[in-house]
Amino acid sequence: MAIRPGTLDTFNGSMAHAIENELAPLLDTALPALGTPERRDTRRLFVAIARGVVSHLRAHQASLDVDYFADGVNRSTSVDLVVDWT
């Protein structure tokens, strides 16, 4: 499964959407109403954050090693991020 940072046109189910969902309950006031220019601007920020996080992770994939123990042997594997930018 690919990581999908999202766009304004493909927001639902994206990382940007997850950021919006996590932020909403932390705010003292509600997010702007859906369909308003203010909400679109807010979502633009979430998309930018998600795309920045994914870009940073892709640029530093070598530092994302996973160490584990299997069959009595210490093993290590690297992460290969697959990104769907749509």
For 29-67, how does the pLDDT look when each residue is reduced to its tens digit (9 = 90+)?
Answer: 999 999 999 999 999 999 999 999 999 999 998 888 899
pLDDT on residue 1: 82
Query: Does residue 79 carry a pLDDT above 90?
Result: no
Alpha carbon distance 44, 31 (integer Å): 13
Structural domain span for residue 30: 15-78
**Domain total for the chain?**
1
Q: Considering the chain, what is the average pLDDT of its residues?
A: 94
Structural domain contains residue 84? no
Structural domain contains residue 35? yes
Structural domain contains residue 3? no
Structural domain contains residue 10? no
Structural domain contains residue 7? no
Query: Does residue 24 carry a pLDDT above 90?
Result: yes
Q: Which residue has better confidence, 79 or 33? A: 33
Q: Please name the residue that has the structure tokens 């979430």.
A: 46
